[in-house]
Amino acid sequence: MPAVTPIAIRDEDLARIRYDDQGLVPAVVQEHGSGDVLMMAWVSEATLRRSLEEGRTVFWSRSRQEEWRKGDTSGDRQFLRAAYYDCDGDTLLFVVEQEGVGACHTGHKTCFYRPFGVGGASDGSGGTSDTSDRTHVGSSSASNYVAPEPVDG
CA distance linking residue 31 with residue 96, whole number of Å: 5
Separation CA 120–CA 118 (nearest Å): 7
How confident is the model over 71-129, as pLDDT tens digits? 999 999 999 999 999 999 999 999 999 999 999 999 999 999 999 998 754 454 444 44
* Domains parsed from the chain with CATH numbers: 11-112 (3.10.20.810)
What whole-number distance in Å separates Cα of residue 95 and Cα of residue 118?
28
- What span, in angstroms and rounded, lies between the C-alpha atoms of 48 and 98? 18
pLDDT in tens, 7-56: 999 999 999 999 999 999 999 999 999 999 999 999 999 999 999 999 99
Instruction: State the CB neighbour count (10 A cutoff) for residue 108.
Output: 19
Provide the H-helix boundaries in 15-105.
45-54
